[in-house]
């Protein structure tokens, strides 16, 4: 039975403007049990429908073949209606079923904290929440939790999962529009936190923030709920072990050492190393390197090019352009050539790589037009061949050309009478 708490959350006294709801699980699935007073029963039912596929801890079978689930797992999901939920799932030893607790609100309020508050004291430990009501979500408290968790996650990831973090950074840089599966037989939250700290200054722009939605535990990435196109489906989906069968649309990442050595792999290693070396200065230094670049592609290309591209900065003066040296070329197989220069960065307007790209596009367009003409001519020739074959095949009736027509007509012409008193008439044939 859904109950409403008597405590009122007041955003103006330092509390975030969020709502909370707690779920118990019966035979039919999650049941909203208790919520904040600003969450009426009808809205609670709508949230239950949206969160139903994310609230269960489905067991997996490990080496001893016994079912296993973690003690707790966290998810952050966003929906097409511009709502978001930070969800904690707990294994309930008392009931044998699971419990789930969700903080609901606007993505603007939850995005900055969603990956950093796993140790918030407000998460209920089991299916029996505090009868006095949920603790309020205070912004200052969550900010302290964020700083504490950053330090803890960085230390753990650097000591144990630096290769995994590097692999995930490379996957995101290579497939920016994709969703990902991280296969790691441990708590993946430290790795996800470090990857966010490394890549958010690169991929989040003034116009568009990169979505760091996630789920720290699921049993498979081949189930319908793992489809990245669905509303609320997290971008980062974490498994303790790969599923036995099935096909996934996600990019899978493991903790195995990398085998490639291309430019993106080198950039991933460099970014992770820079973050571990100076975590407090990393975001500021990265933003300074990428100032004036307003799209993700521009920012990634700038890092691959050693930070020399400046696509969106004002054009330099003519004297500055004459003083600049040609930027080093980039080989996508071996990475950017390492070169130190004190010269100002070039703009895309003067970049020879951009002029080469324009020439390549023009050449490709001409080739496409020629190909279209060849296809049209070939099609017309084929049709003409078919028509001629049909007309000239054996048994086709021949058409006799028309013959000229001769018309004969008899005209009676009166003749001048002879010098006699009696006139005569003679018939003269005429041919036309």
Average pLDDT over residues 219-245: 88
Give residue-wise pLDDT tens across range 416-426: 554 444 444 44
Q: Name every residue whose Cβ is closer than 8 Å to that of residue 339 and which is 6 or more positions away in sequence.
A: 306, 328
Range of the domain at 58: 1-147
Do 139 and 4 have their domain in common?
Answer: yes
CA 161 and chain centroid, separation: 25
Domain assignment present for 283:
yes
Q: Of 403 and 390, which is predicted with more confidence?
A: 390
Q: According to the per-residue pLDDT averaged within each range, which of 13-27, 103-117, 250-264 is highest? A: 103-117
The more confidently predicted of residues 299 and 322 is 299
CB 218 within 8 A of CB 248: no
Average pLDDT over residues 259-271: 88
Task: Give which of 239, 235, 207 is closest to 78, Cα–Cα.
Answer: 235
- Asked if the structure places residue 244 within a domain, the reply is no
Does 7 reside within a domain? yes
**193 domain-assigned:** no
Reply yes or no on whether the pLDDT at 93 is more than 90.
no
Tell me which range, 56-65, 270-279, 357-366, 402-411, is most confidently predicted by mean pLDDT.
270-279
- Residue 245 pLDDT: 85
Q: Is residue 62 part of a domain?
A: yes
**By the 8 A CB rule, do 375 and 367 touch?**
no
Whole-structure pTM value:
0.68
pLDDT digits (tens, 9 = 90+) for 177-228: 789 999 999 999 999 999 999 999 999 988 888 999 999 999 999 988 788 7
The phi and psi torsions of 3 (rounded to 5 degrees) equal -120, 150
Could you say which DSSP state residue 3 is in?
E
Q: Could you read off the pLDDT of 29-57 as tens digits, one per residue?
A: 555 566 777 788 888 889 988 998 888 88
- Residue 258 in any domain: the answer is no
Q: Does one domain contain both 142 and 16?
A: yes
**Cα(17)–Cα(103) distance, rounded to whole angstroms?**
10
Number of independent structural domains in the chain: 2
Q: Is residue 289 within 8 Å of residue 307, measured between CB atoms?
A: yes
Q: Which of 117, 147, 177 is the last residue of a domain?
A: 147
Which residue among 101, 117, 147 closes a domain?
147
- Tell which residue, 237, 242, 212, 217, has the closest CA to residue 227: 237
Q: pLDDT digit string (tens) for 360-391?
A: 545 666 677 777 787 888 888 888 888 777 77
Domain assignment present for residue 213? The answer is: no
Domain edge (last residue) among 120, 147, 174: 147
Q: Under DSSP, is residue 239 helix (H, G, I), strand (E, B) or coil? A: strand
User: What pLDDT shows up at residue 113?
Assistant: 96
Among candidates 142, 161, 141, which has minimal Cα distance to 153?
161
Does 174 map to a domain?
A: no
Name the band, by pLDDT with cuts 50, 70 and 90, for residue 125: low
CA-based radius of gyration for the chain: 39
**pLDDT confidence band for 158 (50 / 70 / 90):** very high
Q: Distance of CA 293 to CAs 303, 321, 390, Å? A: 11, 19, 64
Strands 330-331 and 251-253: unpaired
The pLDDT of residue 262 is 87
**Tens of pLDDT along 275-321?**
999 999 999 999 999 999 989 999 999 999 875 555 444 434 444 43
Co-location of 142 and 283 in the same domain:
no
**pLDDT at 234 exceeding the cut of 70:** yes
More confident position, 265 or 362: 265
Give DSSP secondary structure letters for 76-130.
EEE-TTS-EEEEEEEE-TTTSSEEEEEEEE-HHHHTTTTTT-TT-TTS-SSSS--
- Rounded-to-integer distance, Cα 149 and Cα 292, Å: 31
């Amino acid at each position: 039975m859904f109950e409403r708490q008597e405590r009122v959350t007041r955003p103006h006294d330092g509390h975030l403007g969020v709502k909370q709801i707690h779920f118990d699980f019966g035979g039919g699935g999650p049941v909203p049990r208790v919520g904040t007073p600003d969450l009426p029963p009808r809205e609670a039912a709508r949230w239950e429908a949206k969160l139903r596929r994310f609230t269960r801890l489905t067991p997996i079978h490990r080496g001893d073949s016994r079912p296993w689930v973690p003690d707790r797992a966290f998810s952050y999901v966003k929906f097409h209606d511009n709502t978001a939920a930070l969800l904690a799932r707990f294994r309930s030893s008392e009931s044998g079923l699971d419990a789930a607790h969700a903080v609901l609100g606007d993505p603007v309020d939850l995005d900055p904290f969603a990956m950093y508050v796993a140790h918030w004291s407000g998460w209920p430990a089991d299916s029996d929440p505090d009868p006095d009501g949920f603790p309020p979500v205070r912004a200052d408290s969550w900010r302290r939790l964020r700083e504490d968790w950053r330090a803890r996650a960085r230390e753990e990831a650097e000591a144990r999962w630096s290769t995994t973090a590097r692999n995930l950074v490379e996957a995101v840089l290579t497939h920016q529009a994709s969703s990902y599966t991280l296969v790691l037989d441990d708590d993946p939250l430290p790795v996800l936190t470090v990857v966010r700290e490394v890549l958010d200054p690169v991929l989040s722009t003034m116009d568009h923030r990169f979505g760091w939605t996630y789920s720290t535990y699921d049993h498979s990435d081949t189930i319908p709920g793992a489809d990245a196109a669905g509303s609320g489906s997290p971008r980062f989906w974490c498994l303790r072990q790969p599923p036995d069968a099935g096909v996934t649309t996600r990019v899978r990442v493991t903790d195995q050492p990398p085998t490639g050595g291309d430019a993106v792999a080198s950039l991933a290693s460099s970014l992770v190393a820079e973050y571990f070396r100076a975590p407090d200065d990393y975001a500021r230094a990265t933003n300074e390197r990428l100032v004036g670049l307003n799209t993700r592609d521009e920012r990634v290309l700038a890092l691959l090019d050693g930070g020399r591209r400046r696509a969106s900065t004002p054009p330099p003066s003519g004297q500055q352009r004459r003083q600049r040296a040609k930027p080093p070329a980039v080989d996508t197989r071996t990475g950017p050539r390492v070169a130190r220069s004190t010269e100002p960065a070039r703009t895309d307007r003067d970049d020879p790589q951009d002029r080469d790209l324009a020439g390549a596009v023009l050449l490709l367009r001409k080739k496409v037009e020629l190909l279209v003409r060849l296809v049209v001519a070939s099609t017309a020739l084929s049709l003409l061949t078919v028509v001629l074959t049909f007309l000239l095949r054996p048994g086709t009736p021949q058409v006799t050309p028309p013959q000229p027509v001769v018309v004969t007509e008899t005209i009676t012409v009166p003749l001048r009478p002879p010098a006699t008193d009696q006139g005569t008439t003679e018939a003269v044939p005429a041919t036309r």
